[in-house]
Amino acid sequence: MCQVGFFASTEQFGPRELLEQCVQAERVGFRAIMASDHFHPWTPQQGQSPFVWAWLGALGREVSLPFGTAVSTPGDRYHPTVLAQAAATMEVMYPDRFRLGLGSGEALNEHITGGYWPEPQDRVARLLEAVGILRRLFTGEVVRHQGRFFRVESARLYTLPKNPPPLFIATSGPYLSRKTGELCDAFMTVGASEEKIRMLLENFEKGARAASKDPAAMSRMLLVHVSWAPNPQEAIDNALREWPNGGMDFPKGDIRRPEDFEALARMVRPEHFQGRVLVSSRAEEHISFLRFLFALGFAEIYVHNCGRNQAEFLDFYGQEVLPEVQED
């Protein structure tokens, strides 16, 4: 079944406003919600960064949709034991509705504890080590672990759901997409070229089969950024002002401060969003864009609108786009 979800941008909006957006998203026909898990916004202009785990507890009461993090990073900011406790509690409160999304992280959010920021390959290894710890904790066993990146001493979760929360990894790399198929329950990536998306999905399926799992039974999720406004120039202006990081075609994992992204944003031009952010005021372009992505094999697509005009965007999608792309 093809589902369109709403992406709640905690970098851009405060917690009360985000709740209002999600209530509206459910009302107009979005089928699920994912939220970013940041300590800092990408740029000072974006202006917010509430603690997503406190907010998720309120979200579950305000909407009836499934929801999750996209994504949380195990590391110094969140030891895997803390993430496991948070995710298990969320699943107890809202059974069969919560999913824990994981990623290798960016220095923007993770450098704040003052520890060493690992190289990319070490960040991936740290993430995979954390997945193993999470899985063990979700069984209710007493966990002791002495690994390369984490130590766990006699840890046990006492508040456990009937079923552990599903885990997924968001990745754009070939190795980690395969490991996601092996170790997790679902897969997410961010909008990319057709060739790259097909490669990632193929690797995910290979990993699932290697672990004797049926990839057809595992969800494939995609996060896309769009900038919609009633006229094209406003849509471009919104993307440039509110989401310039979407036009940065280079690795961003080692950049530490919103002010550094702000300086880099001065080099972003409208053409830099091509192939990275759909900038359009026309319903038919949004419809064809989503149909194309669903045809590649995704079951769930989460849409983030770059601008501040969330209420108008949600109404536009509810009236013009969602009825044309979602299955009942």
Task: Clarify whether 40 is annotated catalytic.
Answer: no
Asked if residue 328 has pLDDT above 70, the reply is: no
User: How is the chain split into domains, by residue range?
Assistant: 1-30+53-60+219-327
Please state, rounded to an integer, the average pLDDT across all residues of the chain: 98
Element (H, E) at 233: helix 232-242
Asked if the model's pLDDT at residue 282 lies above 80, the reply is: yes
- Whole-number Å distance between alpha carbons of 132 and 109: 23
**pLDDT tens across 28-65, in order?**
999 999 999 999 999 999 999 999 999 999 999 999 99
* Angle ∠(27,28,30) on CA atoms, nearest 5: 95
User: Which position among 91, 106, 110, 205 bears the catalytic label?
Assistant: 106
> What DSSP designation does 113 have?
G
Q: Tell me the pLDDT band of 327, cut-offs 50, 70 and 90.
A: confident
Catalytic site residue from 11, 38, 225, 300: 38
* CATH fold group of domain 1-30+53-60+219-327: TIM Barrel (3.20.20)
d(CA 328, CA 136): 37
Render pLDDT for 100-140 as a digit per residue (tens, 0 to 9).
999 999 999 999 999 999 999 999 999 999 999 999 999 99
Question: Is the whole-model pTM more than 0.85?
Answer: yes
Alpha-carbon gap, residue 11 to 15, rounded angstroms: 10
Of the candidates 293, 281, 177, the residue with the CA atom closest to the CA atom of residue 224: 293
Residue 195 is a catalytic residue: no
